[in-house]
């Protein structure tokens, strides 16, 4: 991740390889090229803060951009050589869209465009964050997040990693107090560092993060962040009656773990429990997946990684909220000791589950962890899991699922997701007809309810182990935690780190 700082003084005189400035797209109705040939292209709007750079270059910047066919859409870029007029070799103009539509995510995506365009540049000085009517601190946070997330690359297993990367970005404060921007930059760096941690963990090959190794890494991160950590091994789990985690992990020679992380700042009035599914590799167990469906199953611990990342960020930000994080870690493998379809598992607390499909394993480890969380009597429980392929079918890979027994909690999470640029959408919980799909003839509940409404029945299964005495929300991140396509703005191919930023935003509000 690049380093960031804040500077006073004119951007044109900055000692950087590249100067990055913003430009607006023409208002709707004027944008793009005119239908009348004699009018020609409509120039993008260049903010006043960019004028000194154009003057130093001795050019009409708007006219240059028209000649280059640049329109100013979000993330669009154009390069203009400085020919020695300033210390920087080039000026990078970055589109931020129409002024009427400007929001934090547009600035975030513009930041990612800067990172991409400057990937082989050592240093950038910029005013892209200083545009429009956005609050300066909000805009600076979004820009730094965009640059940091857009610059992310997973190279841990590359024998020859590309070392030509953006190393340093300077935000020029202009009329804003530098201290305001410095605080915003530090906050954004903390969040981006947490997202990078989650991406790294999810991208790591499954053989290098089996449950004991993942638990050790969680302990290391917690120690660095000043968070207390306790790890329950297979003996502790057996003694405590964690039949779901043990049942899922029983087919692997790498035993399961339950990690409890505790962040308790003085003055905190709210206790939030965050619970994450951590299947470090999902073969499907005896209900084995097709080979091609296993190729990305190293990402099935994305929920647990998210909990760890959020807690790292919260500790760095010193938020005044008590948080307990639970990472339910197991490897779902087929073997002679694996759970069989038809087996009945006893979850912590005594409820029983008939396992009809061993590939519906995430809900089994979460059941134990949710019971554990409930015993701690928090004010709120939020669990997150790459739980169902049905979530991907229902909402695609750009929108996550939220299910909650508390409408206010659901609304707050959805609002935070929009502010963070990580959209989530609610699905119903209160539906007796769907609940009946989980009725079992031999146990309290079965672990699958059939093909219909798969995401909803999975959430209803989890609700069995939370009850109605605590405010609870379930986030199905199966579609949004992983990007099968190419790089899209600040989302890389592979692990995305969603929903770390959304949850940090929600916790800020609490």
**Active-site amino acid positions:** 289, 363
Q: Distance from first CA to last CA of the chain, Å, rounded?
A: 29
| Cβ contacts of 345 within 8 Å, gap of 6 or more | 243, 244, 247, 339, 352, 353, 355, 364
Distance between CA atoms of 128 and 334, rounded to whole angstroms? 52
Residue 471 CA to residue 405 CA, distance in Å, equals 7
Structure tokens at 212: 């004991």
3-state secondary structure 326-347: EEEEEEECCCCCCCCCCCEEEC
CA distance 414 to 433: 26
In DSSP terms, 261 is beta-bridged to: 229, 325
Q: How far, in Å, CA of 321 to CA of 272, rounded?
A: 7
Location of structure tokens 């609700």: 463
Contact 466, 472 (CB under 8 A): yes
Say if residues 326 and 273 touch (Cβ distance below 8 Å).
yes
Which backbone phi and psi does 174 adopt, to 5 degrees? 60, -125
Q: Report the distance separating Cα 74 and Cα 76, nearest Å.
A: 6
Joined together, the tokens standing for residue 214 give 């993942």
CA atoms within 13 A on the CB side of 487: 15
Question: Angle 258-191-392 (CA atoms, 0-180°, nearest 5)?
Answer: 65
Q: What is the dihedral of CA 481, 301, 306, 265, to 10 degrees?
A: 170
């Amino acid at each position: 991740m690049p380093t960031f700082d804040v500077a006073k003084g004119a951007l044109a005189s900055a000692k950087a390889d590249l100067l990055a400035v913003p430009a607006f797209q023409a208002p709707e109705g004027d944008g793009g090229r005119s239908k009348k040939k004699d009018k020609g292209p409509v120039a993008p709007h260049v903010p006043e803060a960019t004028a000194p750079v154009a003057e130093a270059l001795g050019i009409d910047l708007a006219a240059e951009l028209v000649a280059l066919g640049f329109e100013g859409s979000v993330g669009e870029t154009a390069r203009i050589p400085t020919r020695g007029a300033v210390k920087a070799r080039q000026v990078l103009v970055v589109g931020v869209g129409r002024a009427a539509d400007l929001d934090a995510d547009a600035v975030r995506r513009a930041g990612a465009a800067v990172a991409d365009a400057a990937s082989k540049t050592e240093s950038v000085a910029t005013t892209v964050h200083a545009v429009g009517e956005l609050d300066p601190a909000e805009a600076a946070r979004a820009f730094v997040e965009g640059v940091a997330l857009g610059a992310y690359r997973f190279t841990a297993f590359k024998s020859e990693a590309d070392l030509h990367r953006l190393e340093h970005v300077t935000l020029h404060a202009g009329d804003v107090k530098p201290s305001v921007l410095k605080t915003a930059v530090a906050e954004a760096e903390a969040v981006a560092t947490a997202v990078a941690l989650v991406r790294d963990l999810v991208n790591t090959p499954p053989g290098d993060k089996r449950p004991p190794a993942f638990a050790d890494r969680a302990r290391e991160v917690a120690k660095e962040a000043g968070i207390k950590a306790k790890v329950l091994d297979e003996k502790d789990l057996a003694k405590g009656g964690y039949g779901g985690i043990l049942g899922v992990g029983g087919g692997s020679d790498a035993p399961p773990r339950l990690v409890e992380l505790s962040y308790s700042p003085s003055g905190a009035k709210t206790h939030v429990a965050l619970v994450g599914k951590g299947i470090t590799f999902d073969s499907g167990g005896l209900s084995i997946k097709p080979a091609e469906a296993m190729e990305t199953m190293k990402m099935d611990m994305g929920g647990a990684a998210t909990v760890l990342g959020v807690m790292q960020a919260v500790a760095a930000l010193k938020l005044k909220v008590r948080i307990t994080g639970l990472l339910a870690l197991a490897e779902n493998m087929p073997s002679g000791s694996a759970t069989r379809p038809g087996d009945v598992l006893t979850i912590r607390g005594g409820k029983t589950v008939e396992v009809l499909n061993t590939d519906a394993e995430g809900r089994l480890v979460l059941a134990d962890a949710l019971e554990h969380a409930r015993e701690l009597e928090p004010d709120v429980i939020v669990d997150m899991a790459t739980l169902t392929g049905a979530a991907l079918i229902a909402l695609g890979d750009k929108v996550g699922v939220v299910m909650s027994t508390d409408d206010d909690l659901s609304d707050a999470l959805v609002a935070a997701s929009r502010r963070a640029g990580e959209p989530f959408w609610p699905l119903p919980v209160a539906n007796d007809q769907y609940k009946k799909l989980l009725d079992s003839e031999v146990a309290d509940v079965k672990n699958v309810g059939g093909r219909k409404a798969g995401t909803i029945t999975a959430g209803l299964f989890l609700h069995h182990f939370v009850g109605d005495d605590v405010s609870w929300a379930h986030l199905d991140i199966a579609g949004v935690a992983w990007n099968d396509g190419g790089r899209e703005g600040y989302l890389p191919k592979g692990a995305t780190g969603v929903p770390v930023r959304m949850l940090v935003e929600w916790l800020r509000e609490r």
